[in-house]
Structure formats: structure tokens, C-alpha cells
Amino acid sequence: MNWEQFNQYSIFFCAALAVLLIVLIIITVKFNTRLRTAERRYQTLTRGLDGADWHDLMLELGDDIAALKETTQTHEKFLHNLDSRTQVDFCHRAFIHYDAFEHIFGKLSFSAAFLDENYDGFIFSNIHGREDARCYLKEVKSGKCDQFLSDEEKNVLAQACKTKGE
């Protein structure tokens, strides 16, 4: 190849080099932008760690996660114990008003039954008279009461046993 042939193709050679240079500049700018973005993210991630490196940060985060798991397990045990101690939930309830005596009106007397899921609980009755009011509390076991029940108390117990646990 002689010098004249080289001069003839030099314009194409220079154009190809110029295109290659432009492509390399674009790639360099793109990588610099990505690098700056990564540096900003790293700075945000390690902000306030006073010169800690990535390894130290990961170790600290691992310790924090382990401590949080331990705390969560402690809280779960506490809630389970609390739940087992508060099993008394009166999910079956009924309430009725009535006139206890023929000469007293306004349905000022009432009976209320409160039973848990095993139908254990109590019946609370308030009998309102002209001169006084009396309260009675009767224990219920498995939906039955060993004490004498008035008709109203029998009704309220039956209603409470029929209700769905809520």
C-alpha cells in the first residue's frame, strides 16, 4: 500500500475514528452518571455512620435484625400468656326487661346472662319494687344453674345459650 492509496482512504478512516470517539464519549458519560447515582445511594445508606464501611454496616444491620427477632419472640410469648389468662370472654349474652310485680309498671326489672364459649358464666337479675330494689347473681355451669331460676331468668339463659358466640 502506498501513500496515495492511504490518503484516498484517510477520510473514511478519520470518520470511523470520529464515530468511535463519539460512541466512547457517550458510554463514558453514561457510566459516570451511573457511578454518581451509586455514590449518592451509598452516601444515603451510610449517612451518620462516621466512616463505617459496607462490611461494618452489614454486621450492624445483622445484629439489629437478630435483636428484633428476639424482641418479637418475647412479645409473642407475652401475648400468648396474656391471651391464655384472659380466656373469659362472654360471647353468649342476653338481656331482658320486665315488670316483676303486677302493680309496678315501666319494666324497671331486668335479667342478664353472660356466658363464655363453654356456657359458663352468670345471670344477673335486678328486681325493682316500690320500696326497694334487689340484685341477684346466679352462677351458670355448662348452661345450667343449680339455684332456683325465675321464668325470666330461665328465658334469658335460654336466649344466651341460643346466641352464636361473637
Of 11, 33, 14, 32, the C-alpha closest to 22 is 14
User: Is 123 in contact with 149 (CB distance < 8 Å)?
Assistant: yes
Q: Return the biggest CA–CA distance within the chain.
A: 136
Domain final residue, candidates 25, 47, 69 = 47
Same domain, 97 and 156: yes
Which run of H or of E encompasses 70?
helix 54-85
What's the pLDDT score for residue 38?
Answer: 93
Same domain, 156 and 96: yes
Same domain, 41 and 101: no
Q: Cα separations (Å) of 106 from 47, 54, 136, 144? A: 73, 78, 20, 30
> Is the pTM higher than 0.85?
no
**Domain membership flag for residue 61:** no
Q: How far apart are CA 41 and CA 38, in angstroms?
A: 5
Q: pLDDT tens digits, residue range 118-158?
A: 889 999 999 988 888 889 999 999 889 999 999 999 999 99
Average pLDDT on 82-94 reads: 75
Considering its fold, how many domains does the chain have in total?
A: 2
Averaged confidence pLDDT in the chain:
86
User: Is 61 in contact with 46 (CB distance < 8 Å)?
Assistant: no
Range of the domain at 107: 92-162
Which run of H or of E encompasses 26?
helix 3-45
Matching residue, cell 321464668: 151
**Domain membership flag for residue 55:** no
Average pLDDT on 89-117 reads: 86
**Domain membership flag for residue 98:** yes
